[in-house]
Structure 1
Amino acid sequence: MATEASAAKFKQSDLIPIPLPPDYHPELIVTPSHDGLHFWEFMIAGSIAGMVEHMAMFPIDTIKTRMQVLGSCPIKSAGLRQALQSIIKSDGPAGLYRGIGAMGLGAGPAHAVYFSMYEMCKETFTRGNPNNPTAHAAAGVVATVASDAVFTPMDMVKQRLQLGSGSPYKGVFDCVRTVLREEGFRAFYASYKTTILMNAPFTAVHFATYEAAKRGLMGISMESANDERLVVHATAGAVAGALAAAVTTPLDVVKTQLQCQGVCGCDRYANGSIKDVLKTIVKKDGYRGLFRGWMPRMMFHAPAAAICWSTYEAGKSFFQELNHDNDRS
C-alpha cells in the first residue's frame, strides 16, 4: 500500500510545465555527408566549374571540331594554323564562338551531375582509404555515364554549329527543331555509345591521375599546402587533363564524325557503328586521321582541367567555410 501511495504521489508532480515561446520552431540538424558538404553544394560548385571551363576554352574546342570532320567541310588539313586561319577567313573571330550557347545550356547541368556523382561514388568506393586509385577511376566512370546522358544532346548541337557559316542552322533552337523534324530524337544520342567508350577511360585516367598528382604535390611542402592549394589543384588538373586527352583522341575523332554526319557535306554513316567510322577514317586519311585534332585537344584539356579543378575546389572551400561558420553560430 505504501508503494502504491508513493507511486501515485510521484505521478502527481508539483512541477509546473513551462510553455514554449510562440516563435519556437524545432530544427533538424542535418550533417553534411562528405568533405563537410551537402549534395546540392557539390552540384553548385561543379556546375560553376564546368561552365567556367568550357566557356573559357571554347575557341580551342571549335578548332578541334573543325579539324576532326571529314568530307567537303571547310577544314581538310590537320594543321592547327591552317584550321585557325580558315575559320577566321570564312567566319571571322566570331566563328570561334559559334555554338557557345549550346555549351552554356549543357555544361552547367552536366557538370553538376558529374561532380556530385563523383563525390558520392568516391566516398562509397574508397571505404576510408583516400589513396585508392582504382576507386577514384571507378567513381569517375560512373560520373561520366550519368553526366554524358545530360550533356550529349547539347554537345551534338554545339558541334554542328561549330562547323561555321556553311552549317544550315541559324542557332541553338533552330538546330534542335530541325534535327527533331528531319532526323528524330535518336540523332541527339547518335554518339552516346562512342562518348561513353571515350569518356570512361578518359575519366578513369583523369580522376586517378588528378588525385595522385594532388597528393604528391601537397606532400612536397606540407607546411605551405594550404597557401598553395590553388596552384596544386591547377597543376594536378592540367597533368590529368593532358594525359587523358592524349589517350582518348581516336575515340574523340569518331564521336565528332558521328555528331556532324550529313552536315556541311560531312560523311554520313549507314549504321553509325564505331567500327564503320574507324574504317572510313583510315581509308580516307590513314591512321594519322585517328589523331586529327590531338594538339588542340590537349591544348583544350590541360588548361581546361586546371581551370575546372581549381574553380571546383575553390567552390568546395567556400561552402566548407560557410558550413563551418554556420555550425559555430
Structure 2
Amino acid sequence: MATTDVTPKFHNHELRQLPSSEEQHQHQHQLTTMDPSSSHIHQDGLLYWQVMVAGSIAGCVEHMAMFPVDTIKTRMQALGSCPIKSVGVRAAFRSILQSDGPAGLYHGIAAMGLGAGPAHAVHFSVYEFCKKSFSGGNVNNHVVNATSAVCAEVLSDAVFTPMDMVKQRLQLSGGVGGAYKGVWDCMKMVFREEGFGAFYASYRTTVIMNAPFFAVFFATYEAAKKGLMEISPDKADDERLVVHATAGAAAGALAAVVTTPLDVVKTQLQCQGVCGCDRFATGSIRDVIKTIVKKDGYRGLMRGWSPRMMFNTPAAAIVWSTYEAVKTFFQVRNDQK
C-alpha cells in the first residue's frame, strides 16, 4: 500500500473558494471549542473513525480489484520442487485456469478481505496521526510524510501479515482437493501443525521490504509529480487528480520492481510446506535467498516482478481515489451537521 500526501486534492474556484490558512485555523478552533472530542479531529476536519472507515474501504477496493493479479504473482513466486522451469505471466495464468478454472484466480480473497480492511484502517489512521504530530503545522513536509508512512506500515503489517499468509496459502492450494478448505480451516491447521509463529514468519521481511519500497516510491513520486506539473503549470490545479494518479502509478511500478526480491522471500516464508515449497529452520532472509539462488539462480529473486508491477501501478490510483472519495463524503456530511 503506497502512501502519498493526503491533503485535499480537488478545488474549482468557480464553485468554491478555498479557505486561507488563517480561516482554516479559525475553523479548527471553532471545532475545538464546540466539540470536547476535538482531539480526535484530524487536519481535514474528519473524526479519526471516519479516517479509519475511509482507509478500510479504500484498502478493500484496491486489493479486491487487483486480486487476480496478486494470485498470478504468488503462483510465480512459489518455487516448488527442482528442477524449476521458467514461469511467465501467461503460463501462470493458463495453469490456474486449467487446474481450478476462473474461480482459481480468487482463492483466498476472503482472507484478503478480512485482513485488508482492518490493516488499512490502522494504516491510514496512524499515518494521519503521525503526520499531524510530526509536521508542526507543515503538512506538506515530505520527510514527515515518509516517516509517518513507515510508522503506519509497521503497525498495519502487524495486523495484515497473518491474513496475508493465509491468503497466499489458499492461493496456492485452496481449490477442490487442496490442502485447505477455507480461511478458518487453514488457520486451524497452521496453528496446530506449525504454531503461532508461522503467522508472523514473514513479518520482519515485510517490514524490511517496505522501507526501500517507500524510499523509492516517495523519491519517484515527487520527481514525477514535479515534472508533470512543470509541463503544464497553468492546468496543474484543474488536473491535480490526473497528476497524482500518473505520478503514483510511475512510483508504484518502480518501487515494486526494486523490492521484488524481498517479496519473493516473503512468499517463500509464508508458503512453507505448501505445494512443494521448502520449509526453513529459521526465518533468516539470507537462508531463504541462498535456497532461491541454489534452486533457480539469481533470476529466481525476480520471479513475479511483472505482475507485481502490474499490481502496484494502478493500486496507488485506486486506493487514493477511493480514499479521497470517501473522505469527501464524510466532509460533506460533517458540513451539513
Give the TM-score taking structure 2 as reference length. Answer: 0.82
Q: How far does residue 137 in structure 1 lie from its aligned partner after superposition?
A: 1.5
Q: Spell out the pairing of 1:1-329 with structure 2 (5 A cutoff).
A: 28=35, 30-31=37-38, 32-72=41-81, 76-164=85-173, 165=175, 167-207=178-218, 209-210=220-221, 213=224, 227-326=238-337
Output the CA distance in 1 between the equivalents of 2:244 and 2:206: 26
2:82/2:295 contact within 8 Å kept: no
Output the CA distance in 1 between the equivalents of 2:221 and 2:117: 21
Unaligned runs of 5+ in 2: 1-33
2:166/2:187 contact within 8 Å kept: yes
Matched to 1:176, the amino acid is M
Q: How far does residue 221 in structure 1 lie from its aligned partner after superposition?
A: 5.9
Matched to 1:273, the amino acid is S
1:69/1:266 contact within 8 Å kept: yes
Output the CA distance in 1 between the equivalents of 2:188 and 2:69: 27
Unaligned runs of 5+ in 1: 1-26
Aligned length: 301
176-185 or 208-217, which deviates more: 208-217
Q: Deviations over 1:9-35 (max 9, x none)?
A: xxxxxxxxxxxxxxxxxx745443222
Output the CA distance in 2 between the equivalents of 1:217 and 1:325: 36
Output the CA distance in 1 between the equivalents of 2:165 and 2:146: 26
1:63/1:83 contact within 8 Å kept: yes
Output the CA distance in 2 between the equivalents of 1:212 and 1:173: 44
1:71/1:267 contact within 8 Å kept: yes
Q: How far does residue 227 in structure 1 lie from its aligned partner after superposition?
A: 4.9
Give the TM-score taking structure 1 as reference length. Answer: 0.84
Matched to 1:117, the amino acid is V
Larger gyration radius, structure 1 or structure 2? 1
Q: How far does residue 93 in structure 1 lie from its aligned partner after superposition?
A: 0.8
Matching residue of 1:18: none
Output the CA distance in 2 between the equivalents of 1:237 and 1:181: 42
1:126/1:132 contact within 8 Å kept: yes
SS in 2 for 1:162: helix
